Chain A
């Protein structure tokens, strides 16, 4: 079967090409490249990726403007139909702003832009995106963000933990995120948002290839399905 993926580009996205390369490396097929002003997605779509960057210059709040762009209406509908959606960094911010994922991403507690490879703990490997990892495995993935401080109220956090919706946690506190949460899933499990950049860790020469298994997990699960 052919695997149809799409990468959305907003004005100010800057990881869209890396994301497309990572997806193509695993699927063997170039993903569709969609623009924020497009109102429709291709009819058959197996995977949607929202890349990192600074969409709309982070005006108002990171991800706030992108979340209200025409393409996102279509992405929200697709996600509600069960199409897998991965949001990385700014993509995660966009997903929280649309309400597809709970919580919000605030300015890093240190006020600093943090750009380095960090250790992540795979909290739940029973998901579409993480089945290629061991539960509790420590992986190395780079982060590069100013607004990665995950916030949600205690009731929401307890629910996320209870339902296995914390996909990744920072092994050490880095940005003030509550309970060191680095990536969360929606209730259905088909939407993952994470601050670290798996698409920047797909070859050893880049410092780590731990991110590749995320794409292999998602694509493998979908092809087997």
Chain B
């Protein structure tokens, strides 16, 4: 089973990288960008019988730092289009 974990900074936590990228976009002439925040995508191939609880556990124990980050888990279709 393919799983995609999206790790993001919690709302309200300042994202210096996002701010710098925002600044660069404006420098390139892209107007109307209100905000930029940068996260991390982690794709995993796990055993089909992996429980939601186990996936949560992986996120809480390692993939995300719960002090500053939130995560969401997306299970991808097993057959990916070619």
Interface size class of B (residues with CB under 8 A): 10 to 19
B-contacting residues, A102-138, CB 8 Å: 102-104, 106-111
Q: A60-B62, A64-B62, A68-B62 are in contact. Are A107 and B68 (CB under 8 A)?
A: no
Partner pick for A107 among B16, B61, B62, B63, CB 8 A cutoff = B16
The verdict on A217 contacting chain B, using a C-beta distance below 8 Å, is: no
Total interface residues on A, CB under 8 Å, equals 19
Once the chains bind, are A152 and B16 in contact (CB under 8 Å)? no
Closest to A108 in B: B16
Q: A60-B62, A68-B62 are in contact. Are A104 and B67 (CB under 8 A)?
A: yes
B residues with a Cβ closer than 8 A to A are 13-14, 16-17, 20, 61-63, 65, 67-68
In the bound complex, how far is the Cα of B16 from the Cα of A103, in angstroms? 17
Question: Which residues from chain B contact A151 at a C-beta distance below 8 Å?
Answer: 13, 67-68
Main secondary structure, interface of A, reads: loop
In the bound complex, how far is the Cα of B67 from the Cα of A102, in angstroms? 8
Once the chains bind, are B20 and A111 in contact (CB under 8 Å)? yes
Question: Which residues from chain A contact B17 at a C-beta distance below 8 Å?
Answer: 107, 111
Once the chains bind, are B16 and A97 in contact (CB under 8 Å)? no
Question: Which residues from chain B contact A149 at a C-beta distance below 8 Å?
Answer: 16
- Chain A 156-189, CB-CB to B under 8 Å as 1, else 0, gives 0000000000000000000010000000000000
Once the chains bind, are A110 and B16 in contact (CB under 8 Å)? yes
Closest to A175 in B: B16
The verdict on A36 contacting chain B, using a C-beta distance below 8 Å, is: no
**A104-B68, A110-B16 known, 11 other contacts, Cβ within 8 Å:** A64-B65, A96-B67, A104-B65, A106-B68, A107-B17, A109-B14, A111-B16, A111-B17, A151-B13, A152-B67, A176-B14
Once the chains bind, are A103 and B65 in contact (CB under 8 Å)? no
